Amino acid sequence: MNAIISASDLAAERAGSTPPVLLDVRWQLTVAQQTAAPGQPPFDGRAAYEAGHIPGAVFVDLDRELAAPPGKEGRHPLPDMGVFGAAMRRAGVSARRPVVVYDGGPGWAAARAWWLLRWTGHPDVRVLDGGLPAWEGPLETGTPPAPDEGDFVPRPGAGPLRVLDADAAAALARSGVLLDARAGERYRGEVEPVDPVAGHIPGARSAPTGENVGPDGQLLPAERLRERFAALGAGADTQVGVYCGSGVSAAHEVLALTVAGIPAALYVGSWSEWTSDPSRPVAVGPDPE
């Protein structure tokens, strides 16, 4: 099953006999909110949803429904499964009905929802390639009537995707390929706008997730993604893991790896969890070590 869907294919499926459940997960990184222009309010995903969304889509709050409160396990730890399951059922998610997830770009939040649903056992979840900007159909405003309650019950680890904890991520950096999906300057330790320490996990390789998309905001073709990851030492026969700042943009890199045919595990706690323990080593500079 493909992990992404084009806007034209989504339009066709919406007109079919079994249209997918649509989840709108618009969100922006906290640091972007903090650096908003003076007088400009922080980004409000629900307000953006109410201003215009794909007809029938249900808004899902990443910070409250796709993550637990921040703490020593990172800024976006795994959500409480009761909270996550209730949110998915409220949105109409059922085990036997396909789901399509989108955001406003660049796809990080949608990929987080995709990853969670696949990790907890949903068999058919795709991300709208390019997000809402790629959609050329009509939009609806306001909050539509609630859909019929879904029946999806999340089962952690029931799907094909895997998780890493801090120890497993450190081990994989030595025995396989651990990719750092953050911007290169954060990896090198030149700047750290969110977390308390700059740098990267020793042995990790810099692989900014932004380089997996083209200028149109859509993922690069699968062959180009395979070439990119091969240059980083990652292939279908390699043990691969990914982390970022808090497990959101790294989910988008896992999505890109999946499209390229490369299985990869996600270190959900990521750099925000790694740096919560001052005893963990930190590397700086352009080289993995």
Active site residue ranges = 244
Element (H, E) at 274: helix 270-274
Both tokens of residue 191?
């700047």
DSSP 91: T
Both tokens of residue 114?
């995709």
The single-letter code of the amino acid at 279 is: S
Helices (H) and strands (E) in the chain, counts: 11, 10
Rounded Cα distance, 252 and 232, in Å = 17
The single-letter code of the amino acid at 248 is: V
What lies within 8 Å, CB to CB, of 71 at 6+ separation is: 77
What lies within 8 Å, CB to CB, of 204 at 6+ separation is: 173, 178, 179, 180, 187, 243, 283, 288
Rounded Cα distance, 252 and 122, in Å = 18
Both tokens of residue 181?
């999906």
- What strands lie across the sheet with 125-128, from one edge to the other? 4-5, 125-128, 99-102, 21-24, 58-59
